[in-house]
Amino acid sequence: MIWLLNILETLLFVAAAPLFSGWIQWLKCLAQNRKPPPLWQPYRDLAKLFRKETLVAEQASWIFYTAPYIGFSVAVLVAAIVPLIWVGLPSAAIADVIVLVGFFGLARFFQALAGLDIGTAFGGMGSSREMTIASLAEPALLMAVFTLAVSASTTNLSAAIEYHLAHPHAIRPSYVFAGLALMLVAIAEAGRIPVDNPATHLELTMIHEAMILEYSGRHLALIEWATQIRLMIYGVLLANVFFPWGIAQSFEFAVLLEAIAAIALKLMILSMILVASETLLAKMRLFRVSQYLGFAYFLGTLGMLIHIVVEVGP
């Protein structure tokens, strides 16, 4: 029964991810004085891509076919682990937050290999840049996560959120730093401005898009969907770990409804911050990204030190 609910929650997560992207798109258009597409535009795009013929480069090997499936499966797995509306997920125990980061790494590994598989300059360029950014983002991400893990003394996401719900009035300055660090890393990992621009196809600035340039049809649809799920995962992580209010701790219908409303509201607010930064900032040069991520790492480390100095009793 519990597992069934878990699967239902995962399905909700996966199904809602394009809506979240559509919402960000809608908000961004409004902020930039453009006419927004309808909220369900991402669903239409996905449906169109799924129907289209799939074109594969001549010298592509099986790595090229399997990478989108691995990426999508990993995104679904992680969506199953991250608590969306209900905190007592049984699946959170099978993989903790380090495993989650590791599986994102697995998906990225295959995607970067697929970029090199077709033997063009674009693919290799995208893979190289993606791996550069990822290898710098990973320590910053883990440092932010470790601050949480150490204060709740667990790397299990559900347990960490439960711990914070149990101590609602503790003031933790370390969280401000960890939260900021996680936000910066999330922008880099999700490939948003100012690190990468998902809407560009200019060869000098492409990062993620260069890597997946040769994909089409069903494969591209899976990749796009996985990207949307990943963006939402980072949003939900930020929303539920740092602001766990409203998340359901029991199965009553009213409580669950309330939880859905709460997470929707939190994600809406978060996406406003994202839209504001995407509208106000320009994309950075590639070699500035290391400073950006270095700053995120620095914030994470500061959060850890503050936790150790201020929040741990003698």
Partner 1 sequence: MLKDSADRLRHELADQSKNLWLSGKALAAQNTVATGALAIAAAALAGYALWAGARISMLLAALSVILALASSVVSIGADRNSFLLRHTAFVLLGLSGLCGVLGGGTAMLARVEITGEFPLGLPWLAWHLRLDALSGFFLAVIGLALVAVSLFGPNYVREYEHGRRSLALLGIATGVFVAGMELVLLADDAFFFMIAWELMSVSSYFLVAYEHEQAANRRAAFLYLLMAEAGALFIILAFGVLAAFSEGFTFSAMREASPAPVWTSIAFTLGLIGFGMKAGIMPLHAWLPEAHPVAPSHISALMSGVMLKVAVYGLIRFSFDLLDSLHWQWGIAVLVLGSASAVLGVLYALMQNNLKRLLAYSSVENIGIIFMGLGLSMVFYSTGHPHLGALGMVAALYHTLNHALFKSLLFLSAGTILHQTHESDCERMGGLIHSMPRTAIIFLIGCLSIAALPPFNGFVSEWLTFQAALQATALSSGVLRSFVPVTAAMLALTGGLSAACFVRVYGVVFLGRPRSRHVRHAHGTSSKTMLAGPGLLALLCVFFGILPAPMVRLLEGIPYQLTGQLLPSRHTLGWLWLTPVSPETASYAAPLVLLAILLAWVVSFKLLQPRGKAVSIRRGEPWDCGFGGLTSRMQYTGTAFAMPFRRLFAQSFDVEEMLDEHPPDAQNKRAARLIYHLHIGDRFWRWLYEPVANAIWRVSRQVARIQTGHIRTYLSYSFLTLIVLLWVISR
CB crowding 78-100: b at 16 or more within 10 Å, else e: bbbbbbbbbbbbebbeebbbeeb
Q: DSSP secondary-structure letter at 167? A: S
| Choice between 82 and 222, CB closer to partner 1 | 222
The answer to the question of residue 302 lying near partner 1 (CB under 8 A) is: no
Closest CA to 61 of 276, 214, 177, 230: 214
Near partner 1 in 40-69, by CB under 8 A: 50-51, 53-59, 61-63, 65, 69
Q: Please, which residue, 14 or 24, has the CB nearer to partner 1? A: 14
Q: Of these, 27, 77, 237, 296, which contacts partner 1 (CB under 8 A)?
A: 77
Check residue 301 for interaction with partner 1 (CB under 8 A). Answer: yes
By CB under 8 A, the residues from 201 to 230 that bind partner 1 are: 213-214, 218, 221-222
Q: How many residues does the chain have?
A: 314
Asked whether position 72 contacts partner 1 by CB under 8 A, the answer is yes
Q: How far is the CB of 134 from partner 1 (least distance, A)?
A: 6
Pick from 4, 33, 153, 253: which binds partner 1 (CB under 8 A)? 153
Q: Which residues in the 15-34 window bind partner 1 by CB under 8 A?
A: none
| Residues 6 or more apart whose Cβ sits within 8 Å of residue 121 | none
Ranges within 264-293 binding partner 1 (CB under 8 A): 286-287, 290
d(C-alpha 182, C-alpha 234), whole Å: 9
Stretch near partner 1 under the rule CB under 8 A, chosen from 22-30, 181-189, 237-245, 304-312: 304-312
DSSP label at residue 309: I
Task: Decide if 24 contacts 40 (C-beta within 8 A).
Answer: no
Compute the distance between CA of residue 123 and CA of residue 209 in angstroms, rounded to an integer. 9
Is 189 near partner 1 (CB under 8 A)? no
